[in-house]
Amino acid sequence: MVRVVIGGTFDPLHDGHKALLVKACELSRGGELVVGLTSDEMVKSKAHKVSDYRSRYDQVMQFIREQGIDPVIIKLDDPYGPTIHDDFDYLIASPETQPTAQDINRIRREKGMRPIRIVPVDYVLAEDGLPISATRISRGEIDEHGRIMKKCL
């Protein structure tokens, strides 16, 4: 049985997050999808306001279930979660999370564990050609779909 893992804050749940989650769903069909969702404690250092864990959990669960997958969502209190203890076949990573994915495999090698295959998913770009990000959305530059927000004069 294939095991896929992905981690993140996923708030607000934008098209970039959805691309990552869709890839995770595709790879996990017939297997297991484990989603590590950052705890409220972990998100305190974010530059923008983040919804509470329960709200983020509900949004991610609903989106993944709409893809026909029933995931296991676990709370992350550190950047690695179960990836440095449990075996997985695939680890989904954005360009932003790629360094953490590499760290995970380094730690796994040091522990004598086999590496997890990292599946990169490129940024989803906004209308202006820049990546969609929670920070840009929180600043009011773009919406969750990457549409440029109209500035009032």
C-beta separation of 28 from 89 below 8 A:
no
Mean pLDDT of 84-99: 97
pLDDT of 81 above 80: yes
Helix, strand and coil percent figures for the chain, each rounded to 5: 35, 20, 45
- The pLDDT-based confidence of 153 (bands split at 50, 70, 90) is very low
As a whole number of Å, the CA-based R_g of the chain is: 16
Residue-wise pLDDT for 136-148, tens only, equals 999 999 999 999 9
All structural domains of the chain, each given as residue ranges with its CATH number in brackets, are 3-122 (3.40.50.620)
- The pLDDT-based confidence of 151 (bands split at 50, 70, 90) is low
User: What's the chain's average pLDDT?
Assistant: 95
Question: How is 14-45 classified by DSSP, letter by letter?
Answer: -HHHHHHHHHHHHHHTTSEEEEEEE-TTGGGG
- CA nearest to 83, candidates 52, 50, 122, 109: 109
Mean pLDDT of 91-106: 97
Residue-wise pLDDT for 69-79, tens only, equals 999 999 999 99
Mean pLDDT of 74-93: 97
Cα–Cα–Cα angle for 7, 49, 54, rounded to 5 degrees: 55
Residue tagged 């997958």 (tokens): 69
Burial of 16 (0-12, 13-18, 19+ CB in 10 A): buried
Burial of 116 (0-12, 13-18, 19+ CB in 10 A): buried
User: What are the strands of the beta sheet with 72-76, ordered from one edge?
Assistant: 72-76, 32-38, 3-8, 90-93, 117-120
